[in-house]
Amino acid sequence: MTPRWIFRAAACLLLPALAACGGVGATPPLRPNEVQVIEPAGKEADWTYAPKELRVAAGTTVTFVNRGKEFHTATSDEPGRPFDLGMDSGKSVTFTFSNAGAFAYHCGVHPQMTGVVRVCEGACP
């Protein structure tokens, strides 16, 4: 085999392996009206939600996605807790925000995780 063919063969073997590793630790792209749990490996103090603030129109259903390894919640900070959603690892839950306002929330297990859903009458600016 010529050095050129050896290089091509090696490249063909390495490309799939590199492609498979490319997403390790990466956050999947956010979908509209979606909040993701973010768990940087070995950095529990940095666990969070993304985006930190989501803006939606009244009547929108928001999906909370847990792609992490731990159980999390999205628990309303409001008195009476209009929502308290538990998310097992690899699962998602939804909640429909019917009224306009700012709805702060946190993880009931990991209180450093906080976020806000801002609900607008009509389209948000």
Coil, strand or helix at 49:
strand
Lowest mean pLDDT among 22-26, 36-40, 114-118: 22-26
Residue 97 has pLDDT above 60, yes or no: yes
Which domains are delineated in the chain?
Answer: 30-120 (2.60.40.420)
As a whole number of angstroms, the distance between CA 102 and CA 122 comes to 14
pTM for this one? 0.76
Q: How far is CA 72 from the centre of its chain?
A: 11
Region 104-109 average pLDDT: 97
- The reported pLDDT for the residue numbered 112 is 95
Q: How far is CA 119 from the centre of its chain?
A: 19
